[in-house]
A and B are shown apart, each in its own frame.
Chain A
Amino acid sequence: MKIDIILAGVGGQGILTIAAVIGMAAVDKNLYLKQAEVHGMSQRGGDVQSNLRLSDKPIYSDLITKGCADIIISVEPMEALRYLPYLKKGGYVITNIVQFNNIVNYPNEDELNARIKALPNRIAINADQIAKDLGNTRASNIVVLGAAVPFLGLSIKELEGGIKSLFGSKGDDVVEMNITALHAGYEFAKSEM
C-alpha cells in the first residue's frame, strides 16, 4: 500500500487538521508516514499545501514527485488546480467548491467552476453548505476529508479512529460532530461516483 496526497488550501483554512486526522489513522494502522507542511510567511492568507505520504514500506522523500500524487484534496477550488502538475494520470481531485477570494485578481466565479467541472476525475463538494446544514460551519474541512475517503486506502472506521485520537481531549461532542461531518462528505462522494 502506498498513497501520495497533496493537501491544498489557503493559510488558516485548516488543511493541517485534515493531515493530522489522516496521520493519526495511518499511525494506528502502523503505516510509514511523511508529512511536509508549510509554516511561516504563507500562513498569512497565502496559498499553503502539505505533502502527505503513506506507505507500508519506508518512505524516502518528504516531497511528492510531480506527476506522482494519487489525489489532491483541497479546501478551496482555485488552490486545487494549482497542484495539477503533481497529479498522476488518472488521479482524483477532491475539492471544496466554495471560493476564498482574498486577492484582487481572483478568477471569475463561473469560469473557475467550469474549470473544476472539466477535470476528468473529481469530487466537487460544497462543504461549507453541508457543514452549515449540520450546524457547524467550522467542520467544513472534515466534510472535504469525508469526500476523499473512497480514495485514501483507509476505511471510514479507521478515519473515525483518527478523529477520536485527534479531538478526544476536546470532549465527546466535538468528536461526534466531526464524525458526522466525515460521514456527510463520504455519503456525498459515494453518490457522485
Chain B
Amino acid sequence: MQKLLLLGDEAISQGAIDGGISGFYAYPGTPSTEIMEYAQHSKEVKASGINCVWSANEKTAMESAIGMSYVGKRAMVQLKHVGLNVAADAFINSTITGVNGGLIVVAADDPSMHSSQNEQDSRFYGDFAMIPILEPSNQQEAYDMAQNGFELSEKYNVPILVRITTRLAHSRAGVSTGNKIAQNPISLPKDPRQFVLLPGIARKNYKKLLEMQEAMQEASNNSIYNKYIDGVDKSIGIVACGISYNYLMENFDGKCPHPVVKISQYPIPENHLRKLRNECQSILVLEEGYPLVEKNLKGFFNEGLQIRGRLDGSLPRDGELNPNLVAKALGLEIIEGEAIPEIVKMRPPSLCMGCGHRDVYNALNEALEDYDIGRVFADIGCYTLGALPPFNAINSCVDMGASITMAIGASDAGLVPAVAVIGDSTFTHSGMTGLLDAVIKDAPIVVLISDNSTTGMTGGQASAAKGRIVDICKGIGVNPAHIRILNPLKRLHEENLAILKEELAYKGLSVVVAQRECIQTAIRNKKAAKKTK
C-alpha cells in the first residue's frame, strides 16, 4: 500500500489504472480534465499501452469506449456534465447493449458554475439510464470506486456512472492505493448480436436491463459506500449524499448527534431511508446539485414526514453547498469573519495580454462598424471572454458548435451578414457538421475560426485541428476563394480589417481563419525547447 497526495480527479485516474483499465477516453472540460492529464503523465500508462489520447468530442469518446468494452477490455469515459449531453445518445444506448469489458463513465458536475454554462446534475442521467451511480465523498472513495467500478459494471452488465463535483475533482488529499488488477484479455461478446440494437434485439436487451434493477437496488442497500449511522437526537434525521457528508461532519467534528444516512451509491438505498423515516421526526436532505433524493422522498403530494432541503428553502435552490450553508440548515450558529470591504472589486477572468483573440476582436469590431450591432454568434472557449469589456464583441455562447448553426438560423431569418466566431478545438468538436449545413445552402455568413492551435480554456490540451483547419474547410466544400487566412497581429490590423470587410460584403459562405499560437502554449513550448537544448 502506497500513500499518494492526489486531486479527486487524479485519484480516479490512478484507481482506473490499478483497476485494469485499457483505455481512457475523453474530451477536455473543467472539472474533469485532470483525469486524462494524469493518465497522460503516468509512466505506467505508457508502459502498458493504455490509450490516453484525447478524442474529438465526448460522443466519439463514449463510442470508442463502448468499442473497447465490446472487445472485452475495460474502458473509462471522462467528461464534464455538459459533455454528457453531447455523449448522451451513445451513453443511453450503451445501457441497452450492455457491456462486455467493464465500462465507467465519469461525469464531473460544476455546481455554482465556476467554469460552465449550467449546473445540471448528472445523477439524473444515471437515474434515467437505470444504471448504478457512484458518488464518492472523498478522494479515497474516488480511488476505490474507479478501481472497483469495472467489476461492478461487468457484474450487472451495464456501464457505471461515477458522479463527482468541482470541489472533489480539484481538491487534494492523501490516498492509499490498493492491489493492481491486470487488464482483461481480448474476448468478444458471447452473443454476437448483443451490440446490434435492432428493435427486436433491443426489446430483449431492455427487458434484461429492467430485470437487473432489483439486483442493483440490492447492491445499493448492501453497498459499503452507503451507511446508516445512528444518533441519539431523532428530532431530525439527515441524508448526506457525496461530499455533503463532509460538510455535515465538519460541523460536528465527526460526531453528529442525529441519525445520518450517507449515500454514495445509487439507486437510493431504500433500506437505510426506510429506517431513517421510521425513527426520525423529520428529514433533512443534503445533496450537491438538484434535489434528486429530496424529491423522491417527498413524493408528489408531500403528505408524509416533513422533508427539508433545497425545495423548502432550508438550503439554497442553486449553487454548491459548503459547511456554512449546512450549519444554517441545522440551526447551528457560526460567527463569520468581517464582511468583504467595499474597496474590494470583482476581478473577472480576461484574455491574456498578447493573446491573438484580442486582435481578432479588434479587427472584427471595426469591420462591423458599418452594420447594426447584434450579429456575432460566438462559441465556447477563451474567446468567449470577448463578451466582456473592453471588447463587448459577441452576442451568444450557448453550447459547443452553436456559433455556426445559430448564424445559419439567423441568416435564414434575414440577419445578413451573420458572423460565427469559433475556436479551433470547438470547430473540430462540433463545428464541422454545422459548416456542412452552411455549405449546402451557401449561407451568407462569415465563419471566423480563431485558431490558436490549442484547447486554451481548459489549459492547453492538444487540438485535433492542428494545422488542418483550411484543408478540413476545403474538404467540407467551402469555396476556396472564400477561405481567407489572416495573422492576428497589431501591425497587420489594416490588412486583416480589409479581409474581414470583403468577406462581410460577400453574399455567400466565407470562412476566415485567424492563425496565431496561444501565448500560453507558445511560452510553454519555448521553455520546453530551451530545456531539451
- A residues at B contact (CB < 8 Å): 10-11, 23, 27, 32-47, 51, 58-69, 78-79, 81-82, 84-89, 91, 102-107, 111-112, 115
Say if the beta carbon of B405 comes within 8 Å of chain A: no
**Contact A81 B340, beta carbon cutoff 8 Å:** yes
Known: A40-B31, A41-B457, A84-B340. A67 touches B334 (CB 8 A): yes
Other A-B pairs beyond A36-B172, A45-B347, A65-B324, 17, CB < 8 Å: A33-B173, A33-B174, A34-B171, A38-B170, A39-B30, A39-B33, A40-B30, A59-B173, A60-B247, A61-B246, A65-B322, A67-B335, A69-B337, A86-B337, A106-B345, A107-B345, A115-B341
A46 to B346, CA, bound (A): 9
- For A111, the chain B residues whose CB sits under 8 A away are 343
Contact for A27 among B5, B31, B344, CB less than 8 A: B5
Residue from A60, A67, A68, A69 having most chain B Cβ neighbours under 10 A: A60
The smallest beta-carbon distance between A192 and chain B, in angstroms, is 21
Bin chain B's interface residue count.
Answer: 35 or more
Q: A62-B246, A66-B337, A85-B339 are in contact. Are A45 and B352 (CB under 8 A)?
A: yes
Report yes or no: B340 in contact with A85, Cβ–Cβ below 8 A. Answer: yes
Q: Which 6 pairs across A and B sit closest by C-beta, in order of nearness? A: A40-B115, A40-B30, A46-B349, A61-B250, A44-B349, A62-B171
B243 part of interface (Cβ distance < 8 Å): yes
Given contacts A11-B349, A27-B174, A82-B340, contact A62 B167 (CB under 8 A): yes
- Residue of A23, A27, A36, A87 contacting most chain B CB atoms (<10 Å): A36
| Contact call B338/A87, Cβ cutoff below 8 A | yes
For B249, give the chain A residue with the smallest CB separation: A60
Q: Specify which chain B residues have a CB less than 8 angstroms from the CB of A23 in the assembled complex.
A: 5, 172
- Min CB gap B34→A, angstroms: 7
Interface of B (DSSP majority class): loop
Whether B458 is near chain A, meaning CB under 8 Å from some CB there, is yes
Q: In the complex where A66-B334, A67-B334 touch, is A45 in contact with B389 (Cβ < 8 A)?
A: no
Complex: how many Å from CA A18 to CA B250? 25
Could you say which residues of chain A place their CB within 8 Å of the CB of B336?
Answer: 66-67, 85
A-B contact list, 6 entries, CB within 8 Å = A62-B167, A65-B323, A65-B334, A66-B322, A66-B324, A85-B337
**When each residue 324-364 of chain B gets 1 if its CB lies under 8 Å from chain A and 0 otherwise, what string results?**
10010000001111111101111111111000000000000
CB nearest neighbor in B for A35: B172
* Distance in Å: Cβ of A176 to nearest Cβ of chain B: 20
Check B341–A81 contact: CB distance below 8 A: yes
Tell whether B385 is near chain A: CB-to-CB under 8 Å.
Answer: yes
B339 & A60 in contact (Cβ 8 Å cutoff): no
Q: Which of A45, A64, A112 has the most CB of B within 10 A?
A: A45
Whether B459 lies near A37 (C-beta < 8 A) is no
Residue from the list B246, B327, B337, B351 in contact with A88, Cβ < 8 A: B337
B455 → A minimal CB distance (Å): 13
B436 at interface by CB-CB < 8 Å: no
Whether A60 lies near B250 (C-beta < 8 A) is yes
Closest Cβ of chain A: how far from B151's Cβ, in Å?
A: 27
Considering only CB atoms, which chain A residue lies closest to B339 in the complex?
A85
User: Which residues of B are found within 8 Å of A34, using beta-carbon distances?
Assistant: 171-173
Asked if B88 CB lies within 8 Å of chain A CBs, one says no
Looking at the complex, which one of A35, A39, A59 makes contact with B459 (CB distance below 8 Å)?
Answer: A39
Query: Which residues of B in the span 217-269 have a Cβ within 8 Å of any Cβ on A?
Result: 243, 245-247, 249-251, 254
Inter-chain CA distance A182–B323, complex, in Å, is 33
Asked whether, in the complex, the Cβ of B458 is within 8 Å of the Cβ of A105, the reply is no
Give residues of chain B (124-164) contacting chain A, Cβ–Cβ below 8 Å: none
Residues from 57 to 91 in B contacting A, C-beta threshold 8 Å: none
Question: Most chain-A Cβ atoms within 10 A of its Cβ — which of B33, B167, B168, B171?
Answer: B171
B507 at the interface (CB under 8 A from A): no
User: Which listed residue, A41, A59, A106, A112, touches B349 by the CB 8 Å rule?
Assistant: A41
- Tell me which of A38, A44, A82, A86 contacts B114 (CB under 8 A): A38
A residues less than 8 Å from B348 (CB atoms): 46, 103
Contacting pair B5 A65 (CB below 8 A): no
Chain B CB within 10 Å — which of A38, A41, A81, A104 has the most? A41
Q: How far is the CA of A37 from the CA of B174 in the complex (A)?
A: 15
CB distance from B457 to the nearest CB of A (A): 7
Known contacts A36-B167, A102-B347; decide if A84 and B341 are in contact (CB<8 Å): yes
A106 contacts which chain B residues (CB < 8 A)? 345
Shortest distance from the beta carbon of A161 to any chain B beta carbon, whole Å: 15
**Complex Cα distance A107/B347, Å?**
12
Query: With A and B bound together, what is the CA distance between A58 and B250 in angstroms?
Result: 10
Q: Which residue of B lies closest to A119 (CB)?
A: B338
Q: Which residues of chain B are within 8 angstroms of A11 by Cβ–Cβ distance?
A: 349
Given contacts A27-B5, A66-B337, A82-B340, contact A40 B114 (CB under 8 A): yes
